[in-house]
Structure 1
C-alpha cells in the first residue's frame, strides 16, 4: 500500500465562534425534545438533534420555495449535496430547543442553509446543508423571488 500525499478524508474543524451566538441568526424557532429521543446515556440523541436541524430547514424551504414538497405543483426541486453537523454539547430531556437559521452561502444554482440549536444560551449543535435547485433538466438558477429572500438572510 502506498502513502498518499493528500488526505482522502479532510479534517473538518470546529465551527467559527460567531456561529455559537443566537444573535447571528435572522430566523428563530422552537423544537421540543421528546422522551423517545433519549439514548442509553440519558442524552437527547444526535439523530434527534439532526432532525431538529432538518425540520427548521424544511419549514424554511417551504416558505421560500412555495410548493417545493408538492410534486404536482412545484416548479423546482431541492436536493441535498452536502450536510455537515457539529454536535457541541449534551442535551438532556426535558428540553426546549431554540433553532436559529440563516444563509451561509448563496451561489447561482445552490445555497447553504446554516442552522444552530440552542438550549438556553448554549449552542449545542450547528449544521450547514448545501441545497441545489433542480428543474427537469438538472441544476437550475435559483428563482429571483427566492434569491431575494435568501440574500436578505445571509449570515454576516
Structure 2
C-alpha cells in the first residue's frame, strides 16, 4: 500500500513538539537537523507504543533516512511530529513520518529504514514471526496503530 506521508490523516500516532530558539539556523528558521530530531522523537515514542501493545521485545537500528523538506518553520511555535509503519519485511521495517506546523501544513516527510538487530551479535537478524506478523498488520492498517 502506498501512503502519502504528507497527509496528516494517515497517522494514528503524533507527538506535540515545541520549537526552540536553539533550533534556529543562520537564516532565522528552524534548522534541518532540528526537523530530524523532532521526527526522531515521534519514531522512538511510536516504536515504544508498539512494543507496549504486548509484543515480545525487539531491537531495531536506523539503516537509512530519506527526508524531503517541504516548508520552513519558525520560532516561536509548535509542531506535530507523526509516525507510522508503512512496510514490514524479514529483517527491516519502514517507518513513515510527517512533520506539521501549527497551521497543519506539512513541513517535512521522512522514511526511516529500521533494521532488526540481534542484541548479542549486533548484526541484522530476522524479526521473530510474531513480531513480523504484527508489524505487517500495522503497516496495512489505516493509521498504523495497535488495537
With the length of structure 2 as denominator, give the TM-score of the two structures: 0.78
Q: Which runs of 4+ in 1 moved over 6 A?
A: none
**Which one has a bigger Cα radius of gyration?**
1
Counterpart secondary structure, 1:55: helix
The question of 1:46 aligning with 2:29 is answered no
Q: Which has the higher contact order (CA 8 A, sep 6+)?
A: 2
In structure 2, the gaps of 5 or more residues are: 143-147
Counterpart in the other structure of 2:95: 113
RMSD over aligned CA atoms reads 2.5
Which residue pairs with 1:69 in the alignment?
Answer: none
Query: Residues 43 and 150 (structure 1 numbering): CA distance in 2 closer, same or farther, change over 3 Å?
Result: farther
**Aligned residue pairs, count:** 134
The question of whether the paired residues in 2 share the 8 Å contact of 1:24 and 1:155 is answered with no
Is it true that 1:36 corresponds to 2:22 in the alignment? yes
Deviations 1:95-118 (A, max 9, x none): 210122111211012100111100
Q: SS of 2:71's equivalent?
A: coil
Consecutive unaligned residues of structure 1, counting only runs of 5 or more, are 1-15, 67-73
